[in-house]
């Protein structure tokens, strides 16, 4: 399999690149504009195995076509995107350009050069504020009503991919809707290197590593048991394996489909902060802040579909382990 990973120098893309290197049997190419992805991540990956690297932005169609004209790809894993909910509220056009338009552009070039398989990084943000919260979590059929431009930009991308597949019956896709991804490579070689990341477990790991003096909890009057938001945190290694399964699923000719990636268990912001203090043994300062725009109260996945149809079985469904791997990587990072 000749695979192109867009955004492969970024957080999730690099963990998937690592999983594919470890799996073997793939010829990997990574395309990244290094806006949030890092050179150091690429160097760490290069110590694990070989790949081609294209320093490119998806908005540059000429350069993209040039890459596709010189290389054949059997499958694309498309991670390159902007991913911060709050930023998307402040700067929506960045999200529509980077996420929606660049996905259309990538598809256009992929079709032109005969690529027939795509795995797309989508998000739980497409569901918005769940109408009612079923005990077993939100399934893939739940209404799509995003409450922030990030979720909108990803839904539009999903629809574009679905329309393309309808128009080209031999084009197959898997869309993975990620819940809250956290943690790092368990051997500490790569992690969430994203500069100025705003994700909860990353921020708590920075506080525990004394790189940040304090953190805030954004809102404590949500309709949740302790008033802070509830999320379904999934270890990045388990998510990476979901991509390996998705690739194998497409190779065996299964039909295009959409899958949630989460554990089906929610933790509140306060629980995550408390667990971060326990795991690190550092009692860092936490302040109560106001609500952050764009945050739904609860997002928990139902993940029965991916388990049944792809045989995905998570190995690290353990909040303490997720936090520990993020913290250890943060402490020891380059």
Q: Residues in the site for ligand UFG, rule: CB under 6 A?
A: 83-85, 123-125, 179-180, 198-200, 203, 215-218, 229, 231, 269, 292, 295, 299
The set of residues, in sequence order, having a beta carbon less than 8 Å from that of 146 and lying 6+ positions away, is 125, 126, 127, 128, 152, 154, 155
Question: Least distance to ligand UFG from the beta carbon of 13, Å?
Answer: 13
Q: Which is nearer to ligand UFG, 106 or 273 (CB)?
A: 273
* Token couple for 254: 């299964």
Q: Which is nearer to ligand UFG, 115 or 207 (CB)?
A: 207
CA 14: distance to chain centroid?
Answer: 11
| Phi and psi angles of residue 32, each rounded to the nearest 5 degrees, phi first | -155, 145
Question: Least distance to ligand UFG from the beta carbon of 36, Å?
Answer: 12
Question: Least distance to ligand UFG from the beta carbon of 236, Å?
Answer: 12
Helix (H, G, I), strand (E, B) or coil at 119: strand
Helical spans, DSSP H, in 71-220: 85-90, 92-95, 102-112, 149-167, 200-208
Active site residue 150: yes
Q: Which candidate in 96, 127, 150, 233 is catalytic?
A: 150
Question: Quick one: which of 33, 24, 26, 27 has its CA closest to 8?
Answer: 33
| Phi and psi angles of residue 83, each rounded to the nearest 5 degrees, phi first | -130, 15
Q: Which is nearer to ligand UFG, 78 or 199 (CB)?
A: 199
Q: Which is nearer to ligand UFG, 75 or 234 (CB)?
A: 234
CA 30: distance to chain centroid?
Answer: 16
Number of alpha helices (DSSP H) and beta strands (DSSP E) in the chain: 12, 14
Helix (H, G, I), strand (E, B) or coil at 65: helix
DSSP string across 7-48? TTTSHHHHHHHHHHHHH-S-EEEEEE--SSS-HHHHHHHHTT
Question: Least distance to ligand UFG from the beta carbon of 192, Å?
Answer: 11
Question: Least distance to ligand UFG from the beta carbon of 228, Å?
Answer: 7
Q: Which is nearer to ligand UFG, 70 or 196 (CB)?
A: 196
Which residues form the catalytic set? 150
């Amino acid at each position: 399999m000749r695979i192109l990973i867009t955004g492969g120098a970024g957080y999730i893309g690099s963990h998937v690149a690592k999983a594919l290197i470890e799996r073997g049997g793939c010829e990997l190419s990574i395309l990244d504009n290094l806006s949030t992805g890092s050179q150091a991540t690429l160097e760490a990956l290069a110590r694990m195995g070989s790949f081609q690297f294209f320093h490119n932005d998806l908005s540059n169609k000429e350069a993209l076509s040039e890459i596709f004209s010189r290389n054949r790809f059997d499958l694309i894993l498309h991670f390159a995107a902007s991913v911060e909910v709050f930023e998307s509220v402040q700067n929506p056009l960045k999200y529509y350009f980077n996420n929606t338009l660049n996905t259309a552009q990538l598809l256009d070039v992929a079709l032109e050069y005969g690529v027939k398989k795509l795995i797309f990084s989508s998000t739980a943000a497409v569901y918005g504020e769940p109408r009612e919260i079923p005990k077993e979590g939100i399934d893939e059929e739940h209404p799509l009503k995003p409450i922030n431009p990030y979720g909108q930009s990803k839904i539009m991308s999903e629809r574009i991919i679905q329309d393309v597949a309808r128009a080209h019956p031999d084009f197959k896709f898997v869309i993975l809707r990620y819940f809250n991804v956290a943690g790092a490579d368990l051997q500490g070689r790569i992690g969430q290197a994203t500069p100025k990341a705003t994700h909860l477990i990353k921020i708590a790991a920075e506080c525990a590593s004394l790189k940040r003096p304090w953190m805030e909890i954004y809102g404590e009057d949500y309709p949740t048991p302790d008033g802070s938001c509830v999320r379904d945190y999934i270890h990045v290694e388990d998510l990476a394996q979901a991509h390996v399964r998705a690739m194998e699923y497409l190779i065996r000719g299964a039909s295009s489909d959409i899958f949630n990636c989460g554990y089906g268990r929610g933790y509140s912001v306060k629980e995550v902060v408390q667990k971060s203090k326990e795991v690190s043994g550092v009692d860092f300062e936490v302040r109560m802040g106001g609500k952050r725009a764009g945050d739904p109260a609860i997002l928990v996945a139902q993940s029965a579909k991916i388990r049944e149809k792809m045989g995905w079985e998570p190995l690290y469904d353990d909040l303490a382990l997720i936090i520990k791997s993020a913290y250890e990587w943060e402490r020891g990072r380059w």
